[in-house]
Structure 1
């Protein structure tokens, strides 16, 4: 038997100004729920979380909390209030019955996130402030955890630790996050906030995208049926009434209701439209570093590092906070001089730099002024002149936001504005320092597509595992000793390779020092061949799906007439995908035959 809900909203409505955030909304959380709240930026997710926490008053409906239920809320941005130390800030969340054990509980929880109670709240980095907020939420011994973007500014080790903590949480959990890998690891239910209403699915995040697409497809079919019915009824209004000279008032009222229903329908918000211009000048070399080192005091951040980056490379930089990821970026791009060694940049290098602190945005300027620094009302993007408001619309800004101060925008909106500003300029190198914070998933998807089509070089620092897997072709990693190593593939490939290296080193320690390997033929595939053999089926399945979709798309007789350029691109991609599929199939067959041959030699 299911336990009763711990917190419930019934018929809930919240309105800001004249705009309803949501209306007549029902949602409940019970013990054991581990749910994610998904939806578009600006769709009301944070407001809904605050409403469940009791921090936003309802304009309509009711909120019910089971007596004795403790609720902890983690906001997007910390508010330390009058607290002087991290310990004071976290201790304020202790339950009333904590007693003398309270201070030790606070110290233990802070130790788990790498902080001390004595640490001053002044001067905390974004990641440290986030960890203090997480410690405050966890030390509260809450029955309900409401977490708004808990992974923002956290490094990967902390994200993975938090994922483990939340996976074992016995109460009710509802969280907002753009980190797909984190959501897949934690969630068992989905709440989808879409156009003011919540839908619930009793599955984890991995099922969301297929479910969402199915819901929207069914909705589109229903809308099409209603519009067809409206056409029939309108014809009856024009012809039937005048022919009979007698009105069927019930049918007329039904027609009016149908028309009103269609007119009142809130359409699905579109996606951002991002077009990144590539500077065609420059050679094949982007950046070359030879034996560079850099230290702060006696702490090395980069030690004897060399790399040659060709144009078109996509490289991710990963590691715990404070190990020198941004420093290495600045060294490679010439914004910082190494203590030793040298950095050479290719000819004609034109770089765009996305700064996680968004220092390029004047908080008192308007988006219009940010984009039109020299005045006027238009911007030129990829050779095309556009009105500034229209260009902002492409990044999902409403017309009135063009003249609002930047400081009034949300974190996600500021990130989109910075992307809009950067992408007006042609480049052949894009440097992205934590670009995923505060972006919604649809904008992240589009950014990934843009980077995939970009002809230049991409260097990206991110703690978003899914974003790295989808974006980069190689990964630079360090554990903080100043030594950086390049791995093929994204974050998942890095984790797999490091895991195998660790196993190999462990095996070496256990092996007898004088043990000799038996001579003769190999008994099994090499690690590299075996991994390739394991990964090829999924890659082939992905290519088969892409080929089928492209063939279906190109089969549309209206496609060429509507979009000749798109037709040409799709045709070229189909040919390439078919070639990749054939090559993958041949390689897989070759590895299968080799595995059978080696097995027979045992």
Structure 2
């Protein structure tokens, strides 16, 4: 086994009260792609900052290989002293690093490099910070929520970039699909301690549940053992005093272990407060348009939203998702067309920028609107500290200013307030930002089981697949022109429908070329072409599945070889060749799958 290039062992850190980290560890080797998971407030970002050398624990061992380069993605990058984004990104380069890589990264991240750092939006600042840490191709990349504020095309590009990267990775992210596609190992931070699974995030949740079940069984056995010892002490035959004292001491130890055991951090328990049922028709938009100057945000677009619909809006940043959302909910007026809202609507909104928060306000004051110590939830008076507990806030935090909360805690607080209010139309703009996996699970259950109507904007593919009944996306996602299309189902369903439409278009184009190239076809020839597949098409349809399976097997073997932690240090050239081969294989696999899909749809059309 190769020696680690970064190792944290028995890390202890407390800010008073329960320790944040109590024996946590992290080990990184060449080629590792580790996702660091745990509840909000479990210490993930703190452990990563310790790994980067930006924070110091109160005790524990830290080893960083002296020749290894480390880059850390800051949540709030410091642009002080930089006139342009390109200058900021180039400042991350080391001696011998390629300056053209900065240009390449900025281009793919949607930046020119000439932007003034002080004028950047949150998403643009995150892209600039990514360019700075990715450009040097360091030995270790520490990325804390790299996908926050990124749109879907950029997230998918970043996935490919990280999979091809030679850097060892440690990732914190709420985006399940991103973690599944990138990670090969998982470190779970729970109750101050860390556990490692040498498999990617796709296997984490089943493993976590097994660990917790085994822990619960162990506590049950310990409780039974304590009962037996207590029975012996009270009713057992008196033996030598020394023996009795030994068993009494063991009983005290067992009791201490049983009392000191802390179960897993609680789960959020909540449901949306019910409002009166809205009318069957919630929103009706007829040929609405919106433009700012010469830029068309919404071309004529029509939709009917009925009670119970759950609609997702997706698209690249700047396509106009938030504008379309505001049009549909009547917050802004269209340039032309009409919007009609249904009856009895009670709207609750989670704002993308969290602008609603007054940072000087306390948690209790925010939840109760300053009306004492109680709030009304589903017609029942609840004490604010009891309601806070359902969202994993401690009673002593009731008087805490909101500015002292982490980003995830602020998102959870806004969720708590929204769900306390009666609503039958939920508007969620980027609701998954900063939420941990468990709170995301809860939000998914709330949205999927909500009796009213939901309209949400999200870049989280997994969240969309699990919640929405239809998806609205730009007709041309690469260069949005204001045209929007509604697809049935979630994100994956939308992509499948787009691939089908693309296949239909290709078939149509091929058919048109064939007709134009044949000046005088015989009457039987068109019927023959339409009536069956050619020999070449049949052969491809039968053999492509075998070729696809063979290519998938090659990809697996290639990934297994690249997962060898010693390969990069032993033979970097071979590692680079394997990375290039893997990229070629994946491209070929996509091409073969699209060809098979096109042929299969043609076969179904002929036979149908």
Name the TM-score, length of structure 1 as normaliser. 0.84
Quick one: which of 195, 201, 206 aligns to 1:205? 201
Query: What are the within-5 Å matches in structure 2 for residues 509-520 of structure 1?
Result: 509-511=509-511, 512-514=513-515, 518=527
SS of the equivalent of 1:50 reads helix
Q: CA deviation at 1:134?
A: 0.8
Ranges in structure 1 where 5+ consecutive residues have no aligned partner: 525-594
In structure 2, C-alpha distance between the alignment counterparts of 1:261 and 1:518, rounded to whole Å: 81
CA distance in 1, matches of 2:494, 2:423: 29
The aligned length equals 527
**Equivalent pair of 2:277/2:452 in contact (CA under 8 Å):** no
TM-superposed deviation, 1:437:
0.3
Could you tell which deviates more after superposition, 509-518 or 432-441? 509-518
Report if aligned partners of 1:14, 1:22 keep a CA contact under 8 Å in 2.
yes
Counterpart of 1:382 (choices 368, 378, 381) is 378
The answer to whether the Cα contact below 8 Å between 2:68 and 2:140 also exists between their aligned partners in 1 is yes
Map 1:14-25 → 2, pairs under 5 A: 14-25=13-24
Aligned equivalent of 2:331, options 326, 332, 335: 335
Tell me if the contact between 1:6 and 1:30 (Cα under 8 Å) persists in the aligned partners: yes
Distance 1:225 1:461 in 2: 47
1:124 aligns with 2:125: no
Q: What is the 5 A alignment of 1:364-375?
A: 364-375=360-371
Q: How does 1:92-491 map to 2 (within 5 A)?
A: 92-98=91-97, 102=99, 104-240=100-236, 248-478=244-474, 479=477, 480-491=480-491
Contact 1:278 1:454 in 2 (8 A): no
3-state SS, counterpart of residue 154 of structure 2: helix
Secondary structure at the aligned position of 1:57 is classed as coil
User: 1:16: how far off?
Assistant: 2.1
Query: Aligned Cα RMSD in Å?
Result: 2.2
Task: Give the gaps of 5 or more residues in structure 2.
Answer: 519-524, 534-600
> Given that residues 350 and 427 in structure 2 are in contact (C-alpha distance below 8 angstroms), is that contact kept between their aligned partners in structure 1?
yes
Give yes or no for contact 1:274–1:447 (8 Å, CA) kept in 2: no
Question: Following TM superposition, by how much is the alpha carbon of 1:274 offset from its aligned partner in structure 2, in angstroms?
Answer: 1.3
Q: Distance in 2 between matches of 1:246 and 1:48?
A: 47
1:295–1:339 Cα contact (<8 Å) kept = yes
1:51 match: 50
Q: Distance in 2 between matches of 1:313 and 1:221?
A: 42
Aligned-residue offset at 1:291: 0.5
Contact 2:268 2:391 in 1 (8 A): yes
Contact 2:448–2:466, Cα closer than 8 Å, also in 1: no
Q: For 1:447-495, what per-residue CA distance to the aligned partner results, in whole angstroms no more than 9, with x for missing partners?
A: 1111222111100000000000001010000122100000000000111
1:530 is matched with: none
Give 3-state SS (helix, strand or coil) of 1:122's partner.
helix
Residue of structure 2 equivalent to 1:495: 495
What is the DSSP-based 3-state SS (H/G/I as helix, E as strand, rest coil) of the residue aligned with 2:119? coil
Cα distance change of structure 1 residues 425 and 503 upon mapping to structure 2, 3 Å threshold: same
CA distance in 2, matches of 1:23, 1:140: 34
Match of 2:571 in 1: none
| SS of residue paired to 2:420 | coil
Structure 1 stretch displaced more, 252-261 or 404-413:
252-261
CA distance in structure 1 between the aligned counterparts of 2:296 and 2:606, rounded to whole angstroms: 51
Q: 1:361 to 1:601 in 2, by over 3 A?
A: closer
Shift of 1:601: 7.1
Once residues 463 and 373 of structure 1 are traced to their aligned partners in structure 2, the CA distance between those partners, rounded to angstroms, is: 31
Cα deviation, residue 79, structure 1:
2.7
Distance 1:249 1:517, change over 3 A: farther
Query: CA–CA distance in 2 between the matches of 1:278 and 1:522?
Result: 57
Q: Verify the 8 A CA contact 2:183 2:201 in the aligned structure 1.
A: yes
Question: Residue 257 of structure 1: CA displacement?
Answer: 1.3
**Tell me, what secondary structure is at the counterpart of 2:360?**
coil
Q: Is the 8 A contact 1:521 1:601 kept in 2?
A: no
Over 3 Å counting, the alpha-carbon distance change for 1:327 and 1:600 in structure 2 is: closer
Against the structure 1 CA distance between its residues 265 and 522, is the aligned structure 2 distance closer, same or farther, given a 3 Å change threshold? farther
Q: CA deviation at 1:77?
A: 2.8
Larger RCO of the pair (alpha carbons < 8 Å, separation 6+)? 2
After TM superposition, the score normalised by the length of structure 2 is: 0.83
Greater shift in the superposed pair: 199-208 or 2-11 = 2-11
C-alpha distance after superposition, 1:151-171 (max 9, x if no partner): 001000000000000111222
Instruction: Give the deviation of 1:244 after TM superposition.
Output: 7.0
Separation of aligned partners in 2, 1:199 and 1:158: 31
